[in-house]
Amino acid sequence: MNVLQYSDLHPGRLQGAFDRTVEQLRAGNFRAADVKKLAQRPFYRTKLSDADRLLFKFGVFKGETHILLLEIIENHAYETSRFLNGATVDESKLALVLDPNAVPPAEREPLPYVHPQAPRFHLLDKIISFDDFQCEAFSQRPPLILIGSAGSGKTALTLEKIKLLTGDILYLTLSPYLAEHARNLYYAHRYENDGQNPDFLSFREFVESLRVPEGRPVTFRAFAGWYGRHRHSYPIKDAHMLFEEFNGVLTGTAIDCPFISREAYLSLGVRQSVFTADRRPLVYDIFEKYRRWMADEGWYDLNTTAYAHLDRVRPAYDFAVIDEVQDLTNIQVHLALRALRDPANFILSGDANQIVHPNFFSWASVKSMFYERRVNGRAEIRRILAGNFRNSPQVTGIANRLLLVKNARFGSIDRESNYLVRCVCENTGAVEFLADDDKTKHDLDARTARSTRFAVLVLREEDKPEARRFFRTPLLFSIQEAKGLEYENIVLVGFVSACRKEFNEIVEGVEPSDLERDRLDYGRARDKADKSLEAYKFFINALYVGITRAVRNLYWIESDTSHRLFRLLGLSVKGPATVKAEASSIDEWREEARKLELQGKQEQAAAIRQTILGAQPVPWKVITPDTLEDLKREALDPARFNKQAKQLLYEYALVYSVPYVFDELAKHKFNRAASPEQDRMTAERKYLQDYQEKSLDTVRRKIDLHGIDFRNPLNQTPLMIAARMGLIDFIPWLIKEGADPNARDNWGRIPLQIALRQAFLDPAYARTSLGAAYDALAPTHIKVKVEDRLIKIDRHMMEFFLLHSMMALFQEILRVKIKSKIPAFETGDFVHALKHFPEPIIPQRRRRRAYLTAVLARNEIFRVGFDYNRKLFVRVYRGYYLPNPSMDIEVDERWVNIYDLLRTDVLAREKDDKNLQYLLEVLARVREKIRKNAPAAHR
């Protein structure tokens, strides 16, 4: 039996026992290896010594089973395992496994590829085996230019490459979703590396880390709205093309000015703009109006902002990885690379064939400056990944023929992009070419509309209304939206028929014999003055991107089925689509909606909720901070004794601990408010009773009716209540179905903070519930703004835990300590509570008093001489800290002061509590001290 070893598994002192056990496993001698199955599927363990265990699981590739060695667990400490999520394992109850063939198929992970000779594998969210080309690229030290098609494993390779580096590392990409996705892949299975500090940032976040600009980044939707009001005055009707010209040419190409001058723009070469020379004066006129509109309406664009930040960027990173670099402009790449301490320590990764933004990117221009300098004495720093591990051979084949058409017609973009894709994926699929008629579309829609595995793609946003006439699926995307997505099945609608003229030009002069090759010929276009490559690059690249979104099957619908392009591609109409009708579950649709929200596809996520999930508004009133005042007016109206309103306000004050409300109610003859503690548990049980059912059927029915994040009358979501109660099986289900881990209650607390509060107050909760819930509840990061700079704090950092803990316990800690001590947090508050926290949440080395004290001290706002001071805390007395009062927290893409989030305005109403008023005075004095000490630019 083939045995593969995780690249991060190092036996050390157990090497001899490890080698002996591996031989036993390879021989299938499971009895001698003492193999046992864990309850935590799909994991198994084998015995290395009386105290030490080897954790593994099974994989399968081409019908052959492989043993995948993952981790050595020393001294029976299963709770410390990266893979077992803090589970407690009773070895006396483990089942012995004698026959490797008895392993159930469901516990054999399908492997997309296994190198025939390499004995080791890499691991992100899944097992990865590199092919020869990837291995060769992986072995190269920076600088490195990594070129590869969709599905070539570029991102996986760069993330594994990062694991070998030390120091401060920047992973940068244009897409916020890709940055978040890469971060999640990197830290999958609790990976940690104390020798590095990686930042996973979108380009906007990188800019904001230098200084948060005033206003909002301009979007195409906002631009289209503005231009639509003026378009009748101009002969240029294509808003997309105009917007991309502004962002890819006028403001993106130059690195020595914020935007190129009118004279420079008018003198650009024919292949440096998508507009002809006679149109450019008008384009520049519109550009000037566009800039005035942005200034007037509070918009900014990332290119001119990047230029403005050049003086702010400092060498802060030891290495930088820029993924999907073809989506960035020259000024954006230039700004990012200026953040390097060593300008040669970079990896640039991308694919020029996926450019659907005309930013005139080419690998040749990127690498030329490195060739000129012979970085680190190396003339060749590029590596090409031609393998495709995602798309089926059928989809890859049609994509390759399109690349051959592009190469024959326009020559090579550059020498680096001059390759065909080699299919490594073994998933079989199909490419079906269909005539555009109502019956075909209705039939296809009937079979696919309720499935999350089918998506419909159109070329432009304006093509969507026609597609919606026939396709009911919410998964309808323009090509700009589809970039970065992948679906098992893609329905491609009218890409060529809607743009006959452009695709006629694309196939002009291309003959079938030009496509009878297994490689691309390197060469420039015959006519160097021909600007057609740039003019038509969008259309052919968009088609390529659309095709390669299909993992298995492509269903291509066109009305002009006789277009010459289809003959060149070898496509012909062969009758109705061979699609089996299928429907996804409500749970699958909820998960899809959440995924799309994370990717910024709000339109499609909202369509799922409206058309598939059909969430209805709750029939009860929800008390929010905004509606609380209305309830108080009803309940405290001296002219009318409204018992129902008083009871609801009373219950609200009991659950949320709002003492001043009790005083107000007692004054208005609601006598129970005079001694509220006797009713607190009763009130809490009233709002928790649905969650005390073993089956949780009542809650699930409400979710089906009102949505995964429906609010109860006290403005609590199901996830908040599950966190409060420690429902460790329900919490992961809620998250998987799309529950929002960043939703806030009326004290500004997210579900994680609700769970942390409970864990600090109840050691039994900390021991039994928090470990299983923490991973699901904890957001990947928290964004704060200090001195006009964004700071993104990853959840792996101790600062993340301390800041969330302070926000969770702000009232409880201070209400107790304020009576006898200084109203602030001290190290002992955390040391005492952490004794009960499971190991996977906070490792033992981070629980020591000295370590916690150091983290608080190095992030104190008045600490000087420390480069990594994030200024998160303020010291109000020796050893006593509070969150920085000048710090803002990002909430729904808005910046909110942390103490506004903690609702100190509500605390301020407790006028009779002198201790509490003293705390507010302390905060006011600290704010004044910060203001006086702040640089003028931050006042």
Question: Mind listing the pLDDT tens digit for each residue in 752-781?
Answer: 999 999 999 999 999 989 988 998 999 999
Residue 815 has pLDDT above 80, yes or no: no
Residue 487 has pLDDT above 50, yes or no: yes
**What is the pLDDT confidence band of residue 493, given thresholds at 50, 70 and 90?**
very high
**Bigger pLDDT: 859 or 936?**
859
**Bigger pLDDT: 298 or 415?**
298
In angstroms, rounded to a whole number, what is the distance separating the alpha carbons of residues 402 and 422? 14
pTM of the model: 0.89
In angstroms, rounded to a whole number, what is the distance separating the alpha carbons of residues 676 and 868? 47
In angstroms, rounded to a whole number, what is the distance separating the alpha carbons of residues 37 and 535? 61
Span 484-491, average pLDDT: 92
Which pLDDT does position 292 carry in this prediction? 96
Residue 922 has pLDDT above 60, yes or no: yes
Round the average pLDDT of the chain to a whole number and report it: 88
Residues 6+ positions from 95 with CB-CB distance below 8 Å: 36, 37
Residue 8 has pLDDT above 80, yes or no: yes
Among 807, 823, 812, 829, which residue's Cα sits nearest to residue 915? 823
Residue 263 has pLDDT above 80, yes or no: yes
Span 732-756, average pLDDT: 93
Span 181-204, average pLDDT: 93
Q: Which of 605-614, 777-786, 916-925 has the highest mean pLDDT?
A: 777-786
Lowest mean pLDDT among 127-131, 735-739, 775-779: 735-739
- The burial class, CB within 10 Å (0-12 / 13-18 / 19+), for 108 is middle
Structure tokens at 892: 């729904």
Angle of helix 827-834 relative to helix 798-817, nearest 10 degrees, comes to 110
Which pLDDT does position 40 carry in this prediction? 83
CA angle at 155 for the pair 150 and 159, rounded to the nearest 5°: 170
**What is the pLDDT confidence band of residue 521, given thresholds at 50, 70 and 90?**
low
Q: Hey, is 739 helix, strand or coil?
A: coil
pLDDT tens-place string over residues 600-620: 888 999 899 889 988 889 999
Residue showing tokens 């480069």:
867
Span 663-692, average pLDDT: 91
In angstroms, rounded to a whole number, what is the distance separating the alpha carbons of residues 75 and 53? 8
Greatest alpha-carbon pair distance for the chain in Å reads: 93
In angstroms, rounded to a whole number, what is the distance separating the alpha carbons of residues 123 and 69? 11
- In whole angstroms, what separates CA 549 from the centre of its chain? 19
CA angle at 235 for the pair 230 and 237, rounded to the nearest 5°: 70
CA angle at 153 for the pair 149 and 157, rounded to the nearest 5°: 130
**Bigger pLDDT: 809 or 85?**
809
Which pLDDT does position 414 carry in this prediction? 59
Polymer length in residues for the chain: 939
Lowest mean pLDDT among 48-52, 381-385, 913-917: 913-917
Q: What are phi and psi for residue 876, nearest 5 degrees?
A: -95, -15
Among 415, 385, 371, 386, which residue's Cα sits nearest to residue 143? 371
**In the chain, what is the straight-line distance between the N-terminal and C-terminal CA atoms, in Å?**
67
The DSSP call for residue 40 is S
**What is the pLDDT confidence band of residue 212, given thresholds at 50, 70 and 90?**
very high
Q: Which of 326-330, 406-410, 412-416 has the highest mean pLDDT?
A: 326-330
Span 885-911, average pLDDT: 89
Residue 372 has pLDDT above 60, yes or no: no
Which pLDDT does position 151 carry in this prediction? 82
Residue 518 has pLDDT above 80, yes or no: no
